[in-house]
Amino acid sequence: MMTFGQLGVKLLVVASLLFTVARASAIPKSDIVDKRAEAKVQTAYFTNWGIYGANFQPTDINVKPLTHILYAFADVRDDGTIFLTDSYADEQKHFTGDSWDEAGNNLYGCLKQLYLLKLANRNLKVTLSIGGWTYSQSGHFNFVTDAAKRTTFVNSAVQIVKDYGFDGIDIDYEYPANAEQGQGFADLLTSVRSAFDELAASNGDSVPYQLTAAVPAGSANYAFLNVPQMDRALTHWNLMAYDYAGSWLDFADHQANLYGGERTNVSTDKAVTFYLENGATASKITMGIPLYGRAFENTDGIGQSYNGIGPGTTEAGIYSYKALPLAGAQVINDMTVVASYSYDLSKRELVSYDTPEIATTKAQYVLSKGLGGQMFWDVSHTKRYRFSLMDKTGSSDSLVSTTANVFVSPTASGITSAATWARILPDLAEEYPLGFQRLYIREVLKFPTPDLAEEYPLGFQRLYIREVLKFPIMDIFGLRSGGRKAIRRAALLTSGPTMVLALN
């Protein structure tokens, strides 16, 4: 009897051969792909450090309202090479169902769990976010002014997407400090877009790889962005429409106001207006919404001085959405500036955060402006399996949510890529037999009969792999009682008596 490990090796070989055939007959881009930026997306960041203090795991994510998960953060070496930052969280942590007895260097961690989510939710896209505040402020994006290092970054981005099955990358560069860095960043994005388009073409993928950037809402921080050039390269602009106020100010204020901002000189509407007037496509802009609140202690209210920021949930001054409003506090929605906060009069404690009412109003703003959707930072601040703000802002008719995520088959071009896929494929086939079958037929075989596949999602897919391809891995799953009749009908509709004979 063949073991799962042996089956995995056979799957790897067969998938590689079929992938080569599929590349020769690439599917033309569809209308859905061309309109991908016209729909409403729901993007959320998942941080690799969230599994520790917040104890929020990939398996805790409610993916139902989401179209995209951004896995944060990878970092960049001095030469432009991208690398993962936490080997335990990213690749080693064992979750429920992961074996401790498998031979070899198997892939576990958050990356495996997120890939399993992709398999179970074929419209969910998972991208790798690179950078962030800490790495950016440490000068790790200084390489953007060096053409050779930009090339290294591009090659590294392509390889890491191939190795781990990401749908693309997100770059969080905070922030270009001069015109040279701004131009270097734009040139980097242009090069990554070209490389991703070449990769998609070589794979026969009709859905382009994702390329997004987390961009600032403050005028001092977006001053050096080459918006028109960046817009041509980006799938979406993830507007960081939060952190307008915090411990760096000497007064308490709204941290994510849609309008107003006279004291801080920043508002989301001002930022959106800047990007639109300078060449950004409206349908590519996703508006950030915080899933946390910023606290101010010993204050008499908005615009007043304060002393202290409080202990927070897992970080000083930061309270997770799941902990808000704090006990004893009154919630105030200011619909003039579209912002909200809680205030405890007895403790003189104010927490600026978005209530469901404010999130709903912001979603209406997104619709009225024709923006691309919402982005949330970050899921570890939410209750397990629940996303109240996401549910308030979600779109049920998103075109983006109906485009399949990327499945990258192993190729012979790189040992690293093949080795990674050899580690992950057997586990996927075992844990997600139905999802894996759909994935295999749709993305590797490019089988052009979606109607039949939908009508007979279980039997037809098994039929095609077992009886036509003679692919033995599917034999272990068997057929449900009574399913034979449906399979025969599907076979007759598809290929006539010749195919039916294979069942006799």
| Residue 219: C-alpha distances to residues 105, 109, 112, 286, 376 (Å) | 47, 39, 39, 18, 21
pLDDT at 292 over 80: yes
Q: Is 466 exposed, middle or buried (0-12, 13-18, 19+ CB in 10 A)?
A: buried
The band of 450, judged by pLDDT with boundaries at 50, 70 and 90, is very low
pLDDT top residue among 290 and 401: 290
Note whether residue 45 is domain-resident.
yes
- Name the one residue in this structure whose structure tokens are 């307008």: 244
The SS3 of residue 140 is: coil
Least confident range of 91-105, 246-260, 435-449: 435-449
pLDDT at 482 over 80: no
The reported pLDDT for the residue numbered 404 is 56
Angle at 44 between CA 420 and CA 255, to 5 degrees: 140
The band of 30, judged by pLDDT with boundaries at 50, 70 and 90, is very low
Residue pLDDT, tens place only, 268-279: 999 999 999 999
The reported pLDDT for the residue numbered 205 is 82
Question: pTM for the complete prediction?
Answer: 0.75
pLDDT top residue among 368 and 395: 368
Mean pLDDT of 463-468: 53
Beta strands in 107-235 (DSSP E): 125-131, 168-172, 210-215
Q: What percent of the chain has pLDDT over 70?
A: 68
Distance CA 313, CA 293 (A): 10
Catalytic one of 38, 102, 174, 467: 174
What does pLDDT average to over the chain? 78
| Residue 132: C-alpha distances to residues 42, 142, 260, 288 (Å) | 20, 14, 27, 15
pLDDT top residue among 489 and 276: 276
Note whether residue 222 is domain-resident.
yes
The count of domains in the chain is 1
User: Can you give the residue range of the structural domain that contains 290?
Assistant: 35-402
The reported pLDDT for the residue numbered 87 is 96
Residue pLDDT, tens place only, 242-252: 999 999 999 99
Note whether residue 312 is domain-resident.
yes
Note whether residue 6 is domain-resident.
no
Which of 100-114, 367-381, 453-467, 481-495 is modeled with the greatest confidence? 367-381
pLDDT top residue among 355 and 476: 355
The reported pLDDT for the residue numbered 29 is 32
Indicate which CATH number applies to the domain containing 116: 3.20.20.80
For residue 194, is it left (φ>0), alpha (ψ between -120 and 50) or beta? alpha
Note whether residue 128 is domain-resident.
yes
Note whether residue 478 is domain-resident.
no
The reported pLDDT for the residue numbered 394 is 53
Distance CA 453, CA 1 (A): 30
State yes or no: is 349 an active-site residue.
no
Q: What percent of the chain has pLDDT over 90?
A: 62
Note whether residue 20 is domain-resident.
no
pLDDT top residue among 37 and 369: 369
Note whether residue 430 is domain-resident.
no
Q: Which helix (H) or strand (E) holds 489?
A: helix 483-495
Mean pLDDT of 211-222: 98
**Following DSSP, what letter does each residue of 243-300 receive, concatenated?**
-SSSTTSSS---SS-SS--TTTT--HHHHHHHHHHTT--GGGEEEEEESEEEEE-S--
Mean pLDDT of 472-482: 35
